[in-house]
Amino acid sequence: MWARRNGWLVVLEPTPSRYSKEIADIKRSNNGVYIQNEFSQQFLEAVSLANRHMLEEIPIDVSAYGTRAIDGEPAEVTRRLYEPLIEKTVDTE
Please check whether residue 63 lies inside any domain of the structure: no
Bridge partners of 34, per DSSP, are 28
Q: What is the DSSP string of 36-82?
A: EHHHHHHHHHHHHHHHHHHHTTS---GGGTTSB-TTSSBHHHHHHHH
Domain extent for 43 = 10-58+68-92
The predicted model scores a pTM of: 0.61
Please check whether residue 5 lies inside any domain of the structure: no
Please check whether residue 36 lies inside any domain of the structure: yes
Q: For every one of its 93 residues, what pLDDT tens digit does the chain have, with 9 covering 90 and above?
A: 798 899 998 888 888 888 778 777 777 777 777 777 788 888 889 999 989 999 999 998 989 888 998 788 898 988 888 888 888 888 887
- At residue 45, the pLDDT reads 92
Please check whether residue 74 lies inside any domain of the structure: yes
Report how far residue 34's alpha carbon sits from residue 16's, in angstroms, rounded to the nearest whole number: 16
Number of domains in the chain: 1
For the chain, the straight-line distance linking the first and the last C-alpha, in angstroms and rounded, comes to 53
- At residue 26, the pLDDT reads 78
